[in-house]
Amino acid sequence: MNGIYFLANHILGLKQDKHSDWLIQVHFSSSSLLKENYTIKMSEISLDDEVLSPDMFSDSENQMTSSFNTIELDEPLVISEEPEVTDTVHEWKGVSMDHIYKGLGPFGCHQHPPISPSAEHTVLFELPLNNRGTPKPYPKQQKDKWCQGYVRMPHSMHSLYPVNHENGSNGFRQRWEVIQEALLKSFVSTYQLEAAILSYNHKYAHRWDFSALHQFFSEVVDEESANHFFTGLLPKIVQLALQLPVLVTGAIPLLKRHTNASISLSQLQVSSLLANAFLCTFPRRNSTNPQSEYAMYPNINFNRLFGSYREDRYDRSEAVLEKLKCIFHYFRRITSQVAPEGTITIQRRYIPKEECPRWEQQCHKLPPLHITSKGTIESEGTGLLQVDFANKYVGGGVLRWGCVQEEIRFVICPELMVSMLVTEALDDTEALIISGIERYSKYEGYSDDFKWTGNFVDETPRDSSGRRRTSVVAIDALSFEQACTQFNTRNIIRELNKAYVGFSSSEMHTDNLAAIATGNWGCGAFRGNPQLKVLVQLMAAAVAGRSMVYFTFGDTNLRDKVADLYWHLVEHDIDVARLFYLLSQYRETASKNYSDFYQFLYKRSKMKPITNFLIKTETESTKIDGMSQESEKSTVLLTGYTSKAKQKEEEDELMIANWLEDLDQNNVEITYSVEKKEEEIVKCVDPSNVAVS
């Protein structure tokens, strides 16, 4: 327990600051109590002087004896630019990482064009950027937009809060005045902080629960550590939040459904927005009414996270406390150093369904694939477009009980959470790309076993617009109540389109795009089949013009199966259209548990395709995305055609498949008799026998 207390001291900030280089004028609203201009000193703790976190939680139990070792920040962590991958068949298969990087190194490929304001791109800081220093807010004068289509800011002059006067009458005050009065106090306990937050959220006083926050300070940290939090870190979080009117002067547009739009902010602006989310100041974002204004947006205020603790869910509750460690560590880093100088871009990408690829017509060959059982997307996917296995409400359960891939990424890189403030739920052909985010924490484990393990020094270089060259693409997979339904052609097309939207780029030439770093997308609680999902992503990457790095997260069996099938498909010159055809055929012959999926692909891919196996239909109604229920049940792509010749063709094709079943998969050669049989099949397909239904 002493070790835990020692760790908490460093998370929450043990020292009182003596530096005062970061001075920001905060202009409060015209409250009679707060008319004056306050100068708030955002104290600096030199990263060279203070130990941010001990290396207490090591990766193995035999290192626990050195749990009080510390990370000296004058000797920063060395984060290799190139993923540490060895050329052994035991860890990775496919092509090498050097091939993935095209011989240019991790940051040699393009990710995003420079930031430039436009009708579709809102930039909330001044351009051009100085070489040094924090980006200045833009515009210089505050612009207040209290209307639909924009974030309703807590400091807006139009944001009014109902109050009861001493004489019994009712009235309104500006919300920002109420917030300032509540937060500009000294706190000595989480119960006082709870009371302050509820004072400007009184509607939820009997509904909100702060049990996780109380548990953290009663059980995880000792009294001394708690005192340092309330006298050190918490006042800084409050100061950061109350600087919002000064730091964010422009109106923040919402990234609404079916739009292509981007927002660029500075890291300092993001930190102030997140400080307000931590203190639950954003108005109209708390309602659970499905008809409310922000019903289709993620939760942004932290109240749900603060209440995510139950004794009957002990393991997951412990993971929630570990997420709180990550968040406190982020705020400590942000407020203990010189103001951050970087920038972040959030981009919503939309392609209408009718403009998505016709998958039955794509002649692209499969792209280079590197598949590994070692490493993680965020660590070994350096310089690549890194996939977030997202919820359609971006962030998923990060501010609740969730603690899987998306939620973990959001707490070790908390700047991702600002996307939750602006992003409406994603539709089937939409994706979200966040670039420039920084990683602050190390971790180990997953789900209930997740643990914060210390400070992370992110040395990713920045681009010409001040963004770290880390890009995350959020794509939400379908959730299948019955796993078998994912093999329906309609669902395969949906997942192909979703991945394609996330992987494609209309801004950069495909010749030099960074590869995709991904893994078992939608294969946890959403019941996705990893063997199918890797092929779906591979096909989407091919059409988008990107290579792919696939992480199996320790699953060597999956790595080997995928690699073997990949090389088989490449050797047999299977393109995207042919593979799509095979996937569409599979469900009709699938075994009950789909264990024969790859076996089916091996067999069918060895067969020569029937002449004109992809026949274009004559009317729009027969296009793939407009399939009738009858045509979808027929997984063959000869949609809209029926004939005796076709029935004979299918029977003979099945006979060929049965013959192939008895042959050695690794040494199969199509014998003369099989070729002869195929010739007979082709002869049967006489155009005069084909009738359009």
Helix axis angle for 597-606 and 644-661, nearest 10°, is: 110
What's the CA gap between 262 and 472, in Å, rounded?
A: 14
Question: Residues at the annotated binding site for substrate?
Answer: 391, 405, 446
Structural contact between residues 393 and 268, judged by C-beta atoms closer than 8 angstroms: no
Per this entry, what is the length of the chain?
Answer: 693
**Which residues is 137 bridged to in the sheet?**
125
Determine whether 4 is exposed, middle or buried from the number of CB atoms within 10 Å of its CB (0-12, 13-18, 19+). Answer: middle
In this structure, what is the dihedral angle of CA atoms 224, 227, 231, 235, given to the nearest 10 degrees?
A: 120
Give me 622's structure tokens. Answer: 């027969």
Given a cut of 80, is residue 40 above it in pLDDT? no
Q: What is the pLDDT of residue 130?
A: 85
CB 371 within 8 Å of CB 297: no
Write down the pLDDT at residue 43. Answer: 37
| Amino acid 164: pLDDT | 85
pLDDT-derived band of residue 81, with 50, 70 and 90 as boundaries? very low
Residue 648 sits at φ, ψ, to 5 deg, of -65, -40
Q: How many angstroms separate the Cα of 197 from the Cα of each of 52, 159, 165, 219?
A: 28, 16, 20, 22
pLDDT tops 50 at residue 83? no
pLDDT band at 37 (very low <50, low <70, confident <90, very high): very low
Per-residue pLDDT of 244-299, as tens digits, reads 999 999 999 999 999 999 999 999 999 999 999 999 999 999 999 999 999 999 99
- Whole-angstrom distance, CA of residue 240 vs CA of residue 246: 10
Question: Which tokens hold the place of 107?
Answer: 């940051």
Query: Residue 297 in 3-state DSSP?
Result: coil
Over residues 475-491, mean pLDDT: 95
What pLDDT is stored for residue 610 in this prediction?
A: 59
Question: Token pair for residue 300?
Answer: 């942004």
| Token pair in block for residue 17 | 């600051």
Which residue type, as a one-letter code, is found at position 584?
A: S
What radius of gyration do the chain's Cα atoms show?
Answer: 28
Residue 110 pLDDT grade (very low, low, confident, very high; cuts 50, 70, 90): confident
Higher-pLDDT residue of 418, 110: 418
Distances from the Cα of 194 to the Cα of 213, 274, 276, 280, angstroms: 9, 17, 14, 10
Which two three-digit tokens encode residue 684?
Answer: 């049967």
Report phi then psi at 331, rounded to 5: -65, -35
Which position has the higher pLDDT, 55 or 186? 186
The answer to whether 437 and 416 have CB atoms below 8 angstroms apart is yes
- Per-residue pLDDT averaged across 138-167, rounded? 94
Contact assessment for residue 455 and residue 440, using Cβ atoms and an 8 Å cutoff? yes
Question: Cα–Cα distance between 380 and 81 in angstroms, integer?
Answer: 9
CB 366 within 8 A of CB 77: no
Q: For 175-184, 649-658, 676-685, which range has the lowest pLDDT when averaged over its residues?
A: 676-685
Instruction: Spell out the residues 6+ positions from residue 377 whose beta carbon is closer than 8 angstroms to its own.
Output: 386, 387, 517, 518, 519, 551
Query: Which of 535, 595, 598, 525 shows the shortest CA–CA distance to 561?
Result: 598
Which residues does the annotation mark as catalytic? 388, 406-407
| Spatial distance between the Cα atoms of 538 and 547, rounded to a whole number of angstroms | 8
At residue 652 the predicted structure's pLDDT band, cuts being 50, 70 and 90, is: low
Could you tell me the maximum CA-CA distance found in the chain, to the nearest angstrom? 100
21 pLDDT higher than 60: no
The DSSP result for 107-156, as a single string, is: T-SB--PPP--BTTEEE-B-SSPPSSSPPPBSSSS-----STTB---TT-
Residue written as tokens 């006489």? 686
Residue 34 has pLDDT above 50, yes or no: no
Please report which confidence band the pLDDT of residue 592 belongs to, taking 50, 70 and 90 as the band edges.
Answer: confident
Distance, CA of 34 to CA of 40 (rounded, Å):
14
Q: What pLDDT is attached to residue 513?
A: 94
Average pLDDT, the chain: 82
Per-residue pLDDT tens digits for 490-511: 999 999 999 999 999 987 777 8
pLDDT in tens, 656-670: 555 555 544 444 444
DSSP letter at 66 equals: G
Judge contact between 461 and 560, C-beta under 8 A.
Answer: no
Task: Name the one residue in this structure whose structure tokens are 């020569």.
Answer: 608
Distance CA 209, CA 190 (A): 12
Higher local confidence (pLDDT), 77 or 415: 415
Whether omega for the bond prior to residue 128 falls within 30 degrees of 0, making it cis, is yes
Give the pair of three-digit tokens for residue 213: 């926050």
Which residue has 């931590």 as its token pair? 278
Residue list, annotated binding site = 391, 405, 446
CA distance 101 to 547: 9
* Each residue's pLDDT tens digit, 203-236: 999 999 999 999 999 999 988 889 999 999 999 9
Model confidence pLDDT, tens digit, residues 350-407:
999 999 999 999 999 999 999 999 999 999 999 999 999 999 999 999 999 999 999 9
Q: Which residues lie across from 430 on neighbouring strands?
A: 350
CA distance 210 to 208: 7
The confidence score (pLDDT) of residue 131 equals 77
Question: Can you give the pTM of this predicted structure?
Answer: 0.80
Q: What pLDDT is stored for residue 76 in this prediction?
A: 36
- The pLDDT assigned to 591 comes to 74
C-alpha pair distances (Å), 559 with each of 205, 534, 620, 656: 51, 10, 40, 30
Residue 424 binned pLDDT confidence (cut-offs 50, 70, 90): very high
Calculate the alpha carbon distances from 32 to 25, 154, 173, 305, 431 in Å: 19, 19, 12, 34, 47
Backbone angles phi, psi at 254, to 5 degrees: -80, 145
Residues 546/513, Cβ–Cβ less than 8 Å:
yes
Short-list 633, 651, 567, 631, CA closest to 601:
567
Give percent above pLDDT 70 in the chain.
75
**Count of CB atoms situated within 10 Å of the CB of 167:** 5
- Strands 516-518 and 548-551 come out as parallel
Q: Please check whether residue 580 is in contact with residue 362, taking contact to mean a CB–CB distance below 8 angstroms.
A: yes
The beta strand positions in 150-304, using DSSP E, are 160-164, 170-174, 261-266
